[in-house]
Each structure stands twice: as structure tokens, then as C-alpha cells.
Structure 1
Amino acid sequence: MEFNFNSTEPLYQQVAEQLEEAIFTGSFTEDKQIPSTTEISKQFHINPATVLKGMNLLVAKELIEKRRGIGMFVKVGAVATIEQQRKESFYADYILNVVTEAQKLGLTEEKLVQLIERGYQNGTN
């Protein structure tokens, strides 16, 4: 995990995002324990209350759960939840804008699909 202490984004939000990314990429797997607030706070020199606030964001999103006396665990289904949320964000943040711009340019749906296919062919992946 990496944190930008000079960012305008609050540290607790960065903690939540970093943990969510680690869950999504498989660094923290479903039904397994994640590092404690104390471990994260000591390792990255962050106030434990800040780390806990970030973790609580993920509890609210139902990605992790508190197990009393044991710690925090990644919920089963968390990866699918994150993937669905990211797909919805992708649609709202990118697709709607692309379609709006394509319509302004007078591009048909077929032409837009051709451009997307061209992008995939010329992409690095």
C-alpha cells in the first residue's frame, strides 16, 4: 500500500481504496483476515482511528466484516461486488460520455462500435 500524505483526498479514503484494490486483485482473498488497524497504522505511520475509519467504509460497502475478538475479514462475494460497482462506475463515468460525444459528432452506433473495435485492435492488451 502507498499513501499520499500531500493529497487533498483524505487518508481514510486512501486506506479504503487501497484495501479495496488489494481485495479486487487478490492480495486479500475472500473469507481471509486482513491486517489489523494496528498493523497498518504502525507500518504506514497512520493514526489507528484513520485506518479504522477507512475500514469502516468497506464494512459499510459490505466488502469486509468485523468478527468480534478476531479481526476484519474479506466477505465472501466481495470481489464480485467490487467488479459490479466498477462496471457501473465505468458505464456512468465513461460510456455515457462517449455515447454523448459520439451523438454530437453524428456517429452512428455501428460507427462507434467500429471505433471501439479499432481501439481494442490497436490496444496494448
Structure 2
Amino acid sequence: MALNLDGTKPIYLQISEWLENEILNGNFESDQKIYSQYQLADLFNINPATAAKGLNLLADEQILYKKRGLGMFVTHDAKAIIVNKRKNQTLKRLVQEIVQEAERLNVSKQELIEMIKTANMEEERQ
């Protein structure tokens, strides 16, 4: 994964989202040691302090925990925390945007539901 260094989203947030995706994809399991700030800095060619900020954000959200002198590790509840966070923040915001756009385009709720069902069926076929 490449970070978007020229984008509007802060790099530390991109780091934390990348790590969340790695956890969701099963690349890091509960109690497994995660990359250090220096490994992340080397991996993405960024400042170690920026990488540390991304790691600390995940620690603040109890997705990671620190073992003094050993590094950061994935919590037992990490996947559930990430899923709940994304459902309650990202998905909710996207749904609100879709509903607002549908209203602007005079798309009925039933029509919108049918579009979601169709998209779901197409996804299942893949």
C-alpha cells in the first residue's frame, strides 16, 4: 500500500487505517507484535514521529496495547473495535451522503433499496 503524501488526509491517519486494514485482513492477530514506529517510517519513508502518532491513535482506541520495552501488540478485541468504529462512523456517513443525494435526485426510498439489493447481488456473484 502506498500512502497519499499529497492528499488532504493526514499521514498518521493513513498509517492507522492501513494498520486497521492489516488487522481486519488477518495479517495481525490478537497479541501479535505490530510494526514499530521505525519500521513503519522505513516502510513508508515517513518521519518516525508521524508513524508513532498513528500507532498511538490505535493505542488510544484500544486496538493496540503497549508492552514496555517490547513494542505494540494487537488487543483481543481489535477486530470488533475496528468493525464497530467503521460501522458507526464511516458507513453511517456514507449512507447519509447516499440518502441526501437520492433526495436531491428524487430517487425514492424503495428505488434506493432496490439499488442496494442489486449491488449486493452483483457483489455476491463475484
TM-score (norm 2): 0.80
> What 5-or-longer segments of structure 1 have no aligned partner?
none
2:43 is aligned to 43
Q: Which amino acid aligns with 2:29?
A: T
**Counterpart of 1:16 in 2: which secondary structure?**
helix
- 1:56-71 to 2 correspondences below 5 Å: 56-71=56-71
Q: Rg larger in 1 or in 2?
A: 1
Counterpart CA distance in 2 for 1:10 and 1:106 is 35
Counterpart CA distance in 1 for 2:10 and 2:99 is 33
Counterpart CA distance in 2 for 1:69 and 1:85 is 29
Q: Do residues 30 (structure 1) and 34 (structure 2) align?
A: no
**Counterpart of 2:8 in 1: which secondary structure?**
coil
Counterpart CA distance in 2 for 1:29 and 1:84 is 18
Counterpart CA distance in 1 for 2:99 and 2:32 is 41
Query: How far does residue 110 in structure 1 lie from its aligned partner after superposition?
Result: 4.7
> What 5-or-longer segments of structure 2 have no aligned partner?
none
Query: How far does residue 100 in structure 1 lie from its aligned partner after superposition?
Result: 4.4
1:86 is aligned to 86
Query: How far does residue 92 in structure 1 lie from its aligned partner after superposition?
Result: 2.0
Counterpart CA distance in 1 for 2:107 and 2:34 is 50
**Counterpart of 2:30 in 1: which secondary structure?**
coil
How large is the Cα RMSD of the aligned pairs? 2.3
Counterpart CA distance in 1 for 2:58 and 2:81 is 11
1:2 is aligned to 2
Greater CA deviation, 71-80 or 109-118?
A: 109-118
Q: Which amino acid aligns with 2:12?
A: Y
2:18 is aligned to 18
**Counterpart of 1:26 in 2: which secondary structure?**
coil
- For each residue in 1:11-63, what CA deviation from the matched residue of structure 2 results, as whole angstroms up to 9, or x when unmatched? 22221121111111111112110011122223332221111111111111111
2:120 is aligned to 120
- Give the number of aligned pairs: 124
Counterpart CA distance in 2 for 1:81 and 1:34 is 17
Counterpart CA distance in 1 for 2:51 and 2:89 is 25
TM-score (norm 1): 0.80
Greater CA deviation, 8-17 or 94-103?
A: 94-103
